[in-house]
Amino acid sequence: MASRVGALVTVVVLVWAVSSLNMAEAGNGLSADFYAKSCPQYEKIIYDYVTKLYNSPKNNTVISMIRWAFHDFVNGADGSFLLRSDNFPNNQSEKDSVAQVGMRNSKYAGDIKLAVDAYCPGVISCADTLAVAGAASVKVMGGPYIPMKVGRRDTRISLKSSADKIPRSTATVDELLAFFKPLGIDTAGAVAMMGGHSVGRAHCVSFKARLYPKLDPKLDLKFAKKLLNRCPLKIPLNSGFNPIHFTYIRNDPFSPLTLDNHYFQELLKRHGVMKVDDNMIWDPRTLPYVKLYANDANVWKKTFMLAYQKLSEYKVLTGTQGEIRRKCSLLNK
Ligand code: HEM
Ligand SMILES: *[C@@H]1O[C@H](CO)[C@@H](O)[C@H](O)[C@H]1NC(C)=O
Ligand SMILES: *[C@@H]1O[C@H](CO)[C@@H](O)[C@H](O)[C@H]1NC(C)=O
């Protein structure tokens, strides 16, 4: 009798275990309390580190962080973006993609991981570190607080072809929406995410097609003069350091280190720097959202937050997939 009860209990427990396993698989395997036991303070450590960077001469690192996170998410939020090309002697990696234009400082992601590892060694993946650091950068720069699910694991793959899918600076609205749609981001979310260009800079190479050979008539003329001033064509192309490529302009000169809805207000004044930005005010699908976010910072923040969460959960590795990388730029040996 006792052994039959024991067997029954075993069966019930097994069924329960299997069904909860299925539940975990049905979701994406991430949860808010994934590190509740193994590293309860991980979020505070990351936020403190990002805040410290923001208040240092390396404050521009915090700007770049949101772009690193975005580039990592769109091919699966799996840390692939941080892998150096020399991990793949026979393959080209994300770092070899033209999507890397202007990318900077990403080695600092490794420093954030070291700060976390000092408290709970080897527990948090680079993918989680990057996703949460991106959220921290959003908050520290004045954007919304983004509650994050965690438990991502790190990939051993990074493909140039994946990063090549990220749109160019000249992308049309069709291309922009077609890029975001398979990621689960609708038009409202796509326009909100572009608010990331409220911070940071664009180099001449990313907008010179709007200046030469002919001035883009959609540019506000005063603003166009500013761009022309920064990127004069008459610079010898073989001068080694070629300002056509290396001079840059701030996306939002008024608050370059603040993530706010200024970006949308500037777009409406025809002050969008890159074609991809400006295109959104000339298309009936996107213009209503540009206006909405320009007028209502809270709606923009909420939509940005939801889109960021969704992107950060795209094609994650969980459970026993992938690895917990020891150094974010290097595959584990
Ligand atoms: C999908 C359409 C997008 C396109 C075509 C695009 C294109 C670009 C390009 C070409 C640059 C480099 C400019 C340069 O240095 O010359 C850039 C910079 C940047 N992008 Fe995007 N981007 C897109 C979406 C996003 C999103 C969704 C975010 C974040 C939410 C983002 C955040 C940034 C930031 C912060 C920078 C400046 C980085 C720095 O100054 O270090 N971008 N973008
Ligand atoms: C960011 O750092 C630069 C360079 O040290 C400094 O000039 C600037 O004032 C800083 N900005 C903010 C908002 O801290
Ligand atoms: C190398 O590239 C091929 C083809 O794109 C891909 O299938 C393979 O997974 C890559 N290998 C690594 C280690 O990234």
Q: Which atom of ligand 3 is nearest to the CA of 161?
A: 5
Q: Contact, 93 vs 83, CB < 8 A?
A: yes
pLDDT of residue 21: 42
Going by CA atoms, what residue is nearest to atom 17 of ligand 1? Answer: 202
Cβ within 8 Å of residue 121, ≥6 positions away: none
In which residue are the tokens 């420093």 written?
111
Output the known binding site: 72, 74, 76, 78, 80, 94, 167, 197, 252, 260
Using DSSP's 3-state secondary structure scheme, residue 323 falls into strand
Domain spans of the chain?
Answer: 2-189+296-312
Distance between CA 159 and CA 75 in Å, rounded?
9
List the chain pLDDT tens, one digit each, 333 residues. 445 545 544 444 444 444 444 344 446 899 999 999 999 999 999 999 999 999 999 999 999 999 999 999 999 999 999 999 999 999 999 999 988 888 888 889 999 999 999 999 999 999 999 999 999 999 999 999 999 999 999 999 999 999 999 999 999 999 999 999 999 999 999 999 999 999 999 988 899 889 988 999 999 999 999 999 888 876 555 555 555 556 788 887 788 899 999 999 999 999 999 999 999 999 999 999 999 999 999 999 999 999 999 999 999 999 999 999 999 999 999
Cβ within 8 Å of residue 97, ≥6 positions away: 160, 163, 164, 166
How would CATH label the architecture of 2-189+296-312? Orthogonal Bundle (1.10)
Q: Contact, 145 vs 64, CB < 8 A?
A: no
DSSP state of 83: S
Task: Examine residue 213 and say whether the peptide bond preceding it is cis (omega within 30 degrees of 0).
Answer: yes
Distance between CA 243 and CA 251 in Å, rounded?
18
Q: Which atom of ligand 1 is nearest to the CA of 200?
A: 40
What is the best residue among 75, 88, 91 to mutate for testing ligand 3's pocket, by most ligand atoms within 8 Å of CB? 91
Output the known binding site for Ca(2+): 72, 74, 76, 78, 80, 94, 252, 260
What is the best residue among 86, 90, 92, 157 to mutate for testing ligand 3's pocket, by most ligand atoms within 8 Å of CB? 157
pLDDT of residue 31: 97
Distance between CA 207 and CA 244 in Å, rounded?
10
Alpha-carbon distance values, 210 to 145, 214, 215, 217, 225 (Å): 35, 7, 6, 9, 12
pLDDT of residue 236: 52
Catalytic annotation, residues: 71
Compute the distance from residue 242 Cα to the ligand 2 centre, in Å: 26
Compute the distance from residue 257 Cα to the ligand 2 centre, in Å: 9
Q: Which atom of ligand 2 is nearest to the CA of 55?
A: 14
In which residue are the tokens 């940005």 written?
304
Q: Which atom of ligand 1 is nearest to the CA of 199?
A: 35
Cβ within 8 Å of residue 190, ≥6 positions away: 176, 177, 180, 286, 307
Output the known binding site for heme b: 197
Compute the distance from residue 95 Cα to the ligand 3 centre, in Å: 14
**259 Cβ below 6 A of ligand 3:** no
